[in-house]
Amino acid sequence: MEVELQLTKEELKYLFSIIEKYTPQPLEDEVSLYQSTFNKVEHEMIADRIYDLLSDIDCLEEDTDGTHYEEWEDKLWKEDEDDNGFMLGRNREMWTWDTVSKMEELVKQLEEQQ
């Protein structure tokens, strides 16, 4: 059974901090459930931060001919073929904390150029 939750950014950050600090007991089912939950929450934290950074890049490039926003869009999403043709989906390899730090560095550089 799946349950869908809608959380505010603050609630998501709080949940992530609690899960990140939690150490599961050595019971196999509990560890598995913990890891699954942690991965899902972490993925949402990464996505939330990437969307914020994309917005920042877009705003910072608004008055220039910058192409960083388009470059990041091309890196973050890819076309996947399904039964009905092509659809746009996340490039899973790019939705990581490493990508977040690279985007944060770019935002800092763009802010310094302002």
CA distance 91 to 47: 12
CA distance 69 to 62: 10
Res 85: pLDDT: 62
Note the pLDDT tens digit of each residue in 3-18: 677 778 888 888 888 8
Q: What is the DSSP string of 61-94?
A: TTTS---HHHHHHHHHEEEEEETTEEEEEE-GGG
pTM (whole model) above 0.85: no
Would you say residue 4 lies in a domain?
no
Per-residue pLDDT of the chain (114 residues; tens, 9 = 90+): 566 777 788 888 888 888 888 776 777 777 787 788 888 888 989 999 999 999 999 888 877 777 898 899 888 988 776 666 666 778 888 999 999 999 999 999 988 887
Range of the domain at 96: 9-113
Would you say residue 2 lies in a domain?
no
How many structural domains comprise the chain? 1
Would you say residue 36 lies in a domain?
yes
Would you say residue 24 lies in a domain?
yes
Contact between 45 and 13 (Cβ < 8 Å): yes
First to last CA, the chain: 50
Identity of the residue numbered 113: Q
Res 105: pLDDT: 95
* Backbone φ, ψ for residue 63 (5° rounding): -100, 10
